[in-house]
Amino acid sequence: MPQGRHKDFARRLNTAWDFAGFPRARRRIGAIAEHYNVSRETARKWCQGLAIPKYERLSVMAVQMGISSEWLSTGRGAMESNDLGIREGATKYDNAEEVRLVGLVRKLTRRRQRALLQLLEEEH
């Protein structure tokens, strides 16, 4: 049985998935499992408030869905964040690794972003 904060988190997460256009009901668990590359059991636990994803994954989810990571994590503030710039829809990226990569690149300094870009261009 989910405890209070887990139950509240699950409510916010399901609201965010509705906002991002993920399927509802039974199809949701499969879609979440596939999209985030987790087991159906993990997706079910997230949906029902029996488990909470790690903060790094929550941050990626928030960026991808165009919502505030603070709202998703704690319930404070507005769901949609004006600080995110351009809202990116749930289908913008092919997989969770791509979303994670974009999130990590955005945290780099401009200098390191240019160095990474140069390295990647040399590889191709």
* Angstrom distance (rounded) from CA 92 to CA 20: 11
pLDDT of 24 reads 87
pTM: 0.63
pLDDT of 109 reads 86
* Angstrom distance (rounded) from CA 106 to CA 102: 6
Residue 89 CB coordination number (10 Å): 11
* Angstrom distance (rounded) from CA 89 to CA 24: 17
The answer to whether 49 and 9 are in contact (CB under 8 A) is yes
Q: Which residues of 32-49 are buried (b: 16+ CB within 10 A; e: fewer)?
A: bbebbebeeebbbbbbeb
Which segments in the chain show pLDDT lower than 70? 1-3, 81-97, 99-100
Residue 63 CB coordination number (10 Å): 19
pLDDT of 123 reads 80
